[in-house]
Amino acid sequence: MGQLTGLIIFLLIVAFLLRIDFIFYVVYVCIGVYAWSRWYTPRAFARLTGQRSFTDHAFRGEEVTVTLHIGNPNRLTIPWVQVNESIAPHLRQNKLVADVISLQGRETAVLTYPIKAAQRGFYKLGPLRLSTSDLFGLMPEQQAYLPPDFITIYPRITPLSQLGLPSRLPFGTVASRQRLFEDPARPMGVRNYHSGDSPRQINWKVSAHAQQLVVKTLEPAISLETAVLLNLHTDDYQRRDRATYTEWGIEIAASCASHLVNQRQPVGLITNGIDPLLKQTGAGELDFDETSGRLLRQAGTNGNKTALIPPMILPRNGRAHLMKILERLARIEADETIPLTDWLPTACLNLSWGITILVITPRGDEATCHGLHRLVRSGFNPVLIAIEPDYNFGLVRERAQRLGFAAYNITQTRDMDQWKRPLRGKPATSL
């Protein structure tokens, strides 16, 4: 502040010219206040600490509490600190985080605010902007930033009881109605011997006790190793509300993967969408949508979109593996990458024989069906799940039946009710 400096100089001149020692006292006070404001404020502010703590993964619909810790390690008070937290619009509730606080020496202020996980995605929380100044307005306002943190919102998972998927893999853990897949390790009971039963199935101890021949009954079981193949090539989606159906497809994929992992079956994920985080090296380069706050594709990758297609997640079982799949599904975005028919033969190269492939695609047109038929002929067990409404889906189902695979049209949550029915007394023929 130049005016105060001018006053100090004037005071010094008067003090020296008129030799009034007491004016020096006033000069010292002015210099003291000026020096205090210019020295202490930036020094204290630079030592300010900030931390953001929250659960960095959440399911859609959950409410997450974010806690901000702003600490003053100095011995003296910082009279005011303005705190502005930037929150993604999709996470924001009706309250903004804009506070002004005062921090005494060695004090830590704790600010909490809730966010709503309304939409799946990879979001940025922050940066937290801190600003302060001195008590007298002698120091320009100081700014500091706490770097942003990120939160992953998983897609919505619809709990399923049974999918009814066929399998070709015997000796699994899933009960089946096909006698072909009877598992000697899963004895179910005994029954009277009938002509034609294998003598190896006779339970001799029980037969001796019962004075008649009885044979062991075995529970059929299959192994449902599944790969979820999600088509997110935007040109394949013909409906106007394309974004809605891509999100719907991701939701179906997440629900199926979750159900299968809950059934202790190995699940993998293959998709031709893009993962915006795939090729990005640092958080500073991330580009987030201003409207939604969600992570966007990295700028400058328009020419080589296939580079952003994430690698296949091979089928594994376990909760950790499911989290990996869900995290991928949280970030995945639809884009103009590779059409399904071109991508399908190469996408399944690394899969083992007999694996069930849940192909989630917008429509079951002829090309798609032929592509799936090729998978059948390659020894896989494809299942078509079309997610866009198709009023002639009966034709598609017939075509699929002829070509050797099952087809479902799941366009809304109500269509999944068939997979939500509780299991009956008898085991299902498939998962």
Smallest distance, other proteins to C-beta of residue 87, A: 11
Smallest distance, other proteins to C-beta of residue 178, A: 59
CB nearer other proteins, residue 104 or residue 217: 104
Question: Would you call the peptide bond into 276 cis, given omega within 30 degrees of 0 as the criterion?
Answer: no
Smallest distance, other proteins to C-beta of residue 34, A: 10
CB nearer other proteins, residue 26 or residue 367: 26
CB nearer other proteins, residue 141 or residue 398: 141
Contacts with other proteins, residue ranges (CB under 8 A): 1, 3-4, 6-7, 10-12, 14-26, 28-30, 32-33, 36, 77, 79-80, 82, 84, 95-102, 104, 107-113, 135-137
What letter represents residue 40's amino acid? Answer: Y
Give Dmax over CA atoms of the chain in angstroms.
133
Smallest distance, other proteins to C-beta of residue 144, A: 17
CB nearer other proteins, residue 27 or residue 277: 27
CA–CA dist 121, 104 (Å, integer): 39
CB nearer other proteins, residue 6 or residue 379: 6
Residue with tokens 């088509």: 231
CA–CA dist 45, 143 (Å, integer): 9
CB nearer other proteins, residue 129 or residue 242: 129
- What are the tokens at 369? 């069906």
Is there a contact between 181 and 220 (Cβ–Cβ < 8 Å)? yes
Smallest distance, other proteins to C-beta of residue 88, A: 16
Smallest distance, other proteins to C-beta of residue 10, A: 6
CB nearer other proteins, residue 19 or residue 240: 19
Please state, as a whole number, how many other Cβ atoms lie within 10 Å of the Cβ of residue 37: 19
Q: What is the DSSP letter of 141?
A: P
CB nearer other proteins, residue 99 or residue 247: 99
Smallest distance, other proteins to C-beta of residue 111, A: 5
Q: How many residues does the chain have?
A: 431
- What are the tokens at 61? 């619909």
CB nearer other proteins, residue 36 or residue 59: 36
Q: Name beta bridge partners: 122.
A: 152
Smallest distance, other proteins to C-beta of residue 94, A: 9
Give the HSE-up count for residue 138: Cα atoms under 13 Å, Cβ half-sphere: 19
Smallest distance, other proteins to C-beta of residue 248, A: 33
CA–CA dist 174, 225 (Å, integer): 11
Q: Is 161 exposed, middle or buried (0-12, 13-18, 19+ CB in 10 A)?
A: exposed
CB nearer other proteins, residue 41 or residue 203: 41
* DSSP labels, 339-401: -HHHHHHHHTTTSPTT-EEEEEES---HHHHHHHHHHHHTT-EEEEEE-S--TTHHHHHHHHH
CA–CA dist 160, 415 (Å, integer): 12
Is there a contact between 255 and 160 (Cβ–Cβ < 8 Å)? yes
Which among 131, 110, 120 has a CA at the least distance from the CA of 52?
110
Smallest distance, other proteins to C-beta of residue 22, A: 6
Which among 291, 298, 253, 254 has a CA at the least distance from the CA of 274?
298
Smallest distance, other proteins to C-beta of residue 7, A: 5
CA–CA dist 233, 362 (Å, integer): 10
Question: Would you call the peptide bond into 422 cis, given omega within 30 degrees of 0 as the criterion?
Answer: no
CB nearer other proteins, residue 26 or residue 312: 26
